Amino acid sequence: MGYAQATDMVTRFGQEELEQLAPSDTAEEFDQEKVDSALSDASAEMNTYLGSVYALPLTDPNPYLKTICCDITRFRLWDDAVSEEVRKRYEDAVAWLKKVVKGDVSLGIDNQEEVFYATTSSNAGNRTFTRSSLDDF
């Protein structure tokens, strides 16, 4: 499941903009499949960042992720004719995701660290590693 839906795009950017970005054969509608595909791509892009810090899928995603997803989706739908405002919002969304990864911004949920186990051939035995325990290396 993605972080936003087509109805969220309509709420933020309006029906008319979606009709222009994803025109359909039917008047006064947009191509639902094209918008859903862009939303899915945006969510996947977000997961490349979030997955480095959180176990996916997020069980209780922060509501702000919907805004980020809509901005990324809008950028994707504009293709080559992207406006400066849309590009800036996309760049801001990616910058915010990078802050989440660095720990400068919190999603307000527990960081679900992955635990890695390693067996050594020496007398050291088994060791447990987490992302945070490896930060010192």
Task: Give the length of the chain.
Answer: 137
Average pLDDT over residues 25-42: 92
Q: Which one-letter amino acid corresponds to residue 68?
A: I
- Asked which of 27-31, 42-46, 60-64, 122-126 is least confident by mean pLDDT, the reply is 122-126
pTM of the entire structure?
0.80
Percent of the chain exceeding pLDDT 90 equals 68
* Nearest one of 61, 44, 10 to 19, comparing CA atoms: 10
What is the SS3 assignment for 129? strand
Q: What are the structural domain ranges in the chain? A: 6-109
- Of residues 129 and 97, more confidently modeled: 97
- Nearest CA among 79, 87, 53, 74 for reference residue 4: 74
3-28 per-position pLDDT tens digit: 999 999 999 999 999 999 999 988 77
**Calpha distance 9→13 (Å, rounded):** 6
